[in-house]
Amino acid sequence: MLGDKKVLFSGMQATGSLTLGNYLGALKNWVSLSDEYECFYSVVDMHSITVRQDPAELRKRARSLLTLYIAAGLDPEKNCIYYQSHVSGHAELAWILNCFTYMGELNRMTQFKDKAARHADNINAGLYTYPVLMAADILLYQADVVPVGKDQLQHLEITRDIAQRFNAVYGDVFTIPEPYIGSVGAKIMSLQNPAKKMSKSDENPNASIYLTDDKDTVIRKCKRAVTDSEAVIAYRQEQPGIRNLIDIYCACTGRTPEETVKEFAGRGYGEFKLAVGEAVADVLQPLQTRFEELSKDKAYIDGIIKRNAEKAGYCAAKTLRKVQKKIGFPERVR
Ligand code: TYM
């Protein structure tokens, strides 16, 4: 708890261009939860360097991402929107938690296995201990709830395990966080291969809708989406392409899969794909306009970066001091 509200933490990597999956699986829920909780939304730039980054590009993307959080509807006066690298407590707590995490646990992480396979020339220790840094992010703010897409559930599980292990030794130091998974859009799949999640790192640009895509591009990508030859719009496992498009449509319009199936009964895939594209473009357009406006206001964004880093740093330091004391680090002499 912070004041009389429960605490929410979440973050996104400043790598690649954000996809519709990031928006529907995470960002959209962040906005809807932001009044109810005391929220920390981090641009997790420290996570990004587990894969080689161009420095200028990383800096630019991090700023765009932070601006996008605001453009999507997060009020930076009420929500703490900040860069992870501006709060040293993340790295400090991660080191401590590394000493409470087993290699056997890290070996099981599917994201590590995937990324290690994709970056075989750079399987660094940071990539391996990535989930520990993520646990530190969450536990540092004593978060009660962490809204994420389904692909992050395994990381939430290990965060809970580490926190419980620590608490079992030292008492109730950490709040045990719960994941929050939205009822729609928790796993948006690739438009070109509905067996794979839509991902920033997909090499095929037609596989993902980027938040920066204009209306024509969005509609073209939806029209090209891989479906099947059943020629019936039904919400079932056997038609993963159509099912994914229904999920996207529902997440963008607020309709349920049942309503959508009824709405498009007897109509063709072409017509449905066009409707999906239009629904997506309607969601993205205001976000893009707001993003353009905000990007021009350097002083405003700089002010937010400064103030929120201070706020996050203050909250992080509180937990860190408590942890340091519990594990027996000597007290500072003032
Ligand atoms: P990242 O940057 O890969 O993704 C950001 C958020 O978007 C969600 N997401 C999706 N949801 C639905 N469908 C998809 N296709 C899809 N692709 C991505 C992710 O689940 C995530 O919620 N490790 C995290 C970042 C992180 C973090 C944290 C998150 C670091 N520390 C602490 C929460 C709490 C990551 O790489 O997310």
Name, in order, each residue with C-beta under 8 angstroms of 170's C-beta and a sequence gap of 6 or more.
Answer: 326, 327
Distance CA 296, CA 119 (A): 36
pLDDT for position 14: 87
Q: Is the CB of 48 under 6 A from ligand 1?
A: no
pLDDT tens per residue, range 242-300: 999 999 999 999 999 999 999 999 999 999 999 999 999 999 999 999 999 999 999 99
- pLDDT of the residue at 324: 97
pLDDT score of 30? 96
pTM flag (> 0.75): yes
Tokens standing for 80?
């703490």
Residues in a beta bridge with 95:
none
User: Could you tell me which of 109, 129, 107 has the C-alpha nearest to residue 50?
Assistant: 129
Task: Report the share of the chain in percent with pLDDT over 70.
Answer: 100
Q: What is the pLDDT of residue 36?
A: 95
The pLDDT-based confidence of 313 (bands split at 50, 70, 90) is very high
Ligand 1 centroid distance, CA of 94 (Å): 19
Residue 196 burial (CB count, 10 A): 11
What is the structure's pLDDT at 183? 87
Among 6, 187, 200, 215, the active-site one is 200
pLDDT over threshold 90, residue 321: yes
Kindly state if the Cβ of 284 falls inside 6 Å of ligand 1. Answer: no
Residue 20 has pLDDT above 80, yes or no: yes
By mean pLDDT, which of 1-5, 63-67, 293-297 is the weakest? 1-5
Residues above pLDDT 90, as percent of the chain: 92
Asked whether residue 219 carries a pLDDT value surpassing 90, the answer given is yes
State residue 201's pLDDT score: 86
Q: What is the CA radius of gyration of the chain?
A: 21
pLDDT band of residue 2 (cuts 50, 70, 90) is confident
Find the 245 Cα to ligand 1 centroid distance in Å. Answer: 20
CA 314 to chain centre: 23
- Average predicted confidence (pLDDT) for the chain: 96
Output the CA torsion 27→174→156→19 (10° steps).
20
- Going by pLDDT thresholds of 50, 70 and 90, the confidence category of residue 46 is very high
Question: Do 189 and 244 touch, CB atoms closer than 8 A?
Answer: yes
Name the residue with the closest Cα to ligand 1, atom 22: 148
113 is catalytic: no
Structure tokens at 295: 């990007």
Tens of pLDDT, residue by residue over 174-215, are 999 999 999 888 999 999 999 999 998 899 999 999 999 999
Local confidence band at 1 (pLDDT 50, 70, 90 cut-offs)? confident
| Statement: residue 31 has pLDDT above 90 | yes
Residue 87: its pLDDT value, please?
A: 98
Whole-number Å distance, alpha carbon 46 to ligand 1 midpoint, is 14
Note if 200 is an active site residue. Answer: yes
Amino acid in position 305: I
